[in-house]
């Protein structure tokens, strides 16, 4: 979809009336009335505090909320902030709210924001998740300054998490991206991020927005495009990540948003990651690993049961995705009881790599491949919880580092599977 198609006439009119800006903050919303007012006020406060001289605008791309979210965005942007008396802006802070056509979709919203940033020639653009209730004004500085002042192209966040939150990120997304591209990005699917005008131009030229993965997981696609394009990366610590209740607990949906775009990008950018041999560090503001060790109520028995029954029931599907040795190893584990459960890092990594290669080759429907990963992931979560239930923060960090090294060590296996050769067990 071309830039002129994604921006409606009404939005174009509003953007033209704003003119060029230095900074743009994008919000993609859909029925977020509960949190959006606070988020917009904090964004406004952050912009006034850290970028008082810059031309700035807030753009809300809404998916057709029925709870007056766009009106609340407008109201919050003109209401008096608490610190209004101490904050002064030298320019008007514009706030635009627009409803994009079609069904609510993160990809369409993100496409609208990127196209608007390009049209307004914004030097730096930040995207903020509308449910980020932990947002503080400093986020504006941490996401935008590296781009605006230091000429980085893409800023991703580092969050403080509960030690068992985000296992899909810590056990698959992060280590696989690090192994493939040699760049350790803590959050390959960032809720909040910043990008430069150069990257915006590049993203608009990419044929990703009309794809299913571009619609469901645009954040991962943007990260992968930035990595493959060799853009300058930066990480900023933002503090605690939103509570579990605000996150989607539908695993298949989460896999479609994250793993599907990751596998898709690997297939698209094979030339750029297959040749990477050495890892390189990413400049990071603040710590790059911080967890809270609060207790959590976890149903480990259910995870174990769903892994075992999933491996048994999905045998005909897994047969077409996995190599016989990997499938046999998984079936062996599924047949053992909870106390002798031994799902090693190596087996998990090999299974993930074989899924990625099968996705690339489309051995069956790609969406079915992604769905078939869910039981294996549940098994991995169970093994991870068993391993780290009483682990300290240092032990947890060490175990995750060992997993990452396994992903890196087995990268030749991924390349081998990718080329279609038979792997050794």
Partner 1 sequence: MQGMIVHELRQVWDEFIRAFAHLLPRLLVILIIAAVGWLVAYLLKILVRNFLRLVKFDRLSERAGAAQLLDTAALPSATELLSQLVFWLAWLVFVLVGINALGTAGVQEHISAFLRFLPRVLVALAILFFGILAANFFSRAALLAAVNSNSPSPQLLSDATRVIIIVLAISMAFEELGLAQKTVLIAFSIVFGALMLGLAIAFGLGGRDLARRFLEKRFSERTPRKAKEDELSPL
Taking residues 317 to 336 in sequence order and writing x for each that binds partner 1 by CB under 8 A, - otherwise, the string is x--x----------------
For strand 154-162 and strand 233-240, is the pairing parallel, antiparallel, or unpaired? parallel
Spatial CB neighbours of 282, under 8 Å, sequence gap ≥ 6: 183, 184, 185, 233, 234, 235
Please identify, using beta-carbon distances, which residue of 3 and 212 lies nearer to partner 1: 212
Positions 155 through 214 that interact with partner 1 (CB under 8 A): 164-169, 189
Q: Distance between CA atoms of 295 and 298, rounded to whole angstroms?
A: 9
Q: Give the chain's largest Cα–Cα span.
A: 69
298 is a contact residue toward partner 1 (CB under 8 A):
yes
Handedness of CA 384, 387, 388, 389 (dihedral sign): positive
* Nearest-approach distance from CB 38 to partner 1, in angstroms: 21
* Nearest-approach distance from CB 385 to partner 1, in angstroms: 8
Residue 318 has phi, psi (to 5 degrees) of -65, -30
258 is a contact residue toward partner 1 (CB under 8 A):
yes
294 is a contact residue toward partner 1 (CB under 8 A):
no
Please identify, using beta-carbon distances, which residue of 103 and 301 lies nearer to partner 1: 301
* Nearest-approach distance from CB 117 to partner 1, in angstroms: 25
Please identify, using beta-carbon distances, which residue of 126 and 308 lies nearer to partner 1: 308
* Nearest-approach distance from CB 200 to partner 1, in angstroms: 25
391 is a contact residue toward partner 1 (CB under 8 A):
no
For strand 154-162 and strand 193-196, is the pairing parallel, antiparallel, or unpaired? antiparallel
363 is a contact residue toward partner 1 (CB under 8 A):
yes
Please identify, using beta-carbon distances, which residue of 152 and 384 lies nearer to partner 1: 384
For strand 124-128 and strand 193-196, is the pairing parallel, antiparallel, or unpaired? antiparallel
Spatial CB neighbours of 32, under 8 Å, sequence gap ≥ 6: 65, 67, 69, 130, 131
Spatial CB neighbours of 292, under 8 Å, sequence gap ≥ 6: 160, 161, 162, 163, 240
Please identify, using beta-carbon distances, which residue of 114 and 321 lies nearer to partner 1: 321
Listed ranges 11-19, 65-73, 147-155, 304-312: which one lies at the site for partner 1 (CB under 8 A):
304-312
Residue 298 has phi, psi (to 5 degrees) of -130, 135
296 is a contact residue toward partner 1 (CB under 8 A):
yes
Listed ranges 6-14, 56-64, 247-255, 285-293: which one lies at the site for partner 1 (CB under 8 A):
247-255
* Nearest-approach distance from CB 301 to partner 1, in angstroms: 11
- The count of chain residues that interact with partner 1, using the rule CB under 8 A, is 42
What radius of gyration, in Å, describes the C-alpha atoms of the chain? 22
264 is a contact residue toward partner 1 (CB under 8 A):
no
* Nearest-approach distance from CB 171 to partner 1, in angstroms: 9
Strands (E), 283-336: 284-285, 291-292
313 is a contact residue toward partner 1 (CB under 8 A):
yes
1 is a contact residue toward partner 1 (CB under 8 A):
no
Please identify, using beta-carbon distances, which residue of 86 and 365 lies nearer to partner 1: 365
Please identify, using beta-carbon distances, which residue of 91 and 302 lies nearer to partner 1: 302
Are 25 and 59 contacting, i.e. CB atoms less than 8 angstroms apart? yes
249 is a contact residue toward partner 1 (CB under 8 A):
yes
Give the side-chain half-sphere CA count within 13 A for 127.
Answer: 30
The binder of partner 1 chosen from 17, 85, 365, 424 (CB under 8 A): 365
Distances (CA, A) of 51 to 47, 90, 93, 142, 144: 5, 10, 11, 12, 9
The binder of partner 1 chosen from 91, 103, 368, 398 (CB under 8 A): 368
The binder of partner 1 chosen from 16, 78, 244, 402 (CB under 8 A): 244
306 is a contact residue toward partner 1 (CB under 8 A):
yes
364 is a contact residue toward partner 1 (CB under 8 A):
yes
* Nearest-approach distance from CB 223 to partner 1, in angstroms: 14
Are 156 and 192 contacting, i.e. CB atoms less than 8 angstroms apart? no
Q: What is the dihedral of CA 275, 280, 282, 287, to 10 degrees?
A: 130
Nearest Cα neighbor of 106 from 129, 134, 124 is 129
Nearest Cα neighbor of 186 from 237, 152, 151 is 237
- Which residues are near partner 1 by CB under 8 A? 164-169, 189, 244, 247-249, 251-252, 254-255, 257-258, 296-299, 302, 305-306, 309-310, 313-314, 316-317, 320, 362-365, 368, 371-372, 374-375, 377, 381
């Amino acid at each position: 979809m071309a830039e002129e198609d994604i921006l409606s006439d009404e939005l174009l009119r509003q953007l033209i009336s704003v003119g060029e800006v230095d900074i743009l903050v994008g919000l993609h919303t859909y029925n977020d009335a509960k949190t959006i007012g606070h988020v917009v006020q904090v964004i406004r406060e952050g912009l006034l505090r850290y970028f008082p001289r810059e031309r700035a605008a807030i753009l809300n791309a809404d998916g057709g909320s029925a709870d007056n979210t766009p009106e609340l965005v407008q109201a919050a942007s003109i209401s008096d902030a608490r610190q209004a008396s101490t904050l002064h802006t030298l320019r008007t802070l514009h706030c635009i709210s627009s409803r994009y056509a079609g069904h609510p979709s993160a990809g369409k919203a993100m496409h609208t924001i990127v196209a608007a940033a390009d049209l307004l020639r914004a030097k730096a653009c930040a995207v903020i998740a509308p449910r980020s209730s932990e947002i503080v004004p400093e986020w504006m500085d941490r996401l935008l300054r590296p781009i605006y002042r230091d000429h980085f192209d893409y800023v991703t966040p580092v969050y403080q998490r509960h030690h068992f939150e985000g296992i899909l990120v810590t056990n698959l997304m992060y280590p696989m991206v690090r192994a493939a591209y040699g760049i350790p990005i803590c959050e390959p699917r960032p809720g909040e991020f910043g990008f430069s005008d150069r990257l915006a131009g590049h993203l608009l030229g990419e044929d990703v927005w009309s794809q299913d993965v571009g619609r469901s997981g645009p954040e991962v696609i943007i990260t992968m495009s930035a990595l493959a394009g060799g853009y300058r990366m930066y990480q900023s610590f933002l503090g605690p990540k939103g509570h579990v209740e605000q996150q989607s607990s539908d695993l298949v949906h989460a896999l479609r948003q994250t793993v599907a775009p990751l596998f898709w990008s690997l297939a698209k950018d094979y030339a750029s990651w297959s040749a990477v041999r050495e890892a390189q560090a990413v400049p990071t503001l603040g710590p790059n690993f911080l967890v809270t060790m609060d207790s959590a109520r976890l149903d480990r028995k259910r995870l174990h049961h769903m892994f075992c029954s999933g491996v048994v029931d999905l045998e005909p599907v897994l047969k077409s995705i996995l190599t016989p040795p990997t499938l046999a190893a998984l079936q062996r584990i599924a047949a053992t009881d909870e106390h002798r459960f031994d799902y090693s890092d190596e087996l998990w990594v090999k299974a993930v790599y074989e899924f990625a290669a099968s996705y690339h080759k489309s051995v069956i429907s790609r969406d079915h491949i992604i769905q078939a990963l869910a039981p294996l992931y549940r098994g991995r979560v169970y093994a991870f919880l068993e391993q780290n239930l009483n682990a300290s923060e240092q032990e947890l960090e060490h175990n995750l580092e060992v997993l990452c090294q396994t992903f890196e060590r087995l990268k030749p296996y991924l390349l081998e599977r990718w080329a279609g050769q038979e792997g050794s067990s």
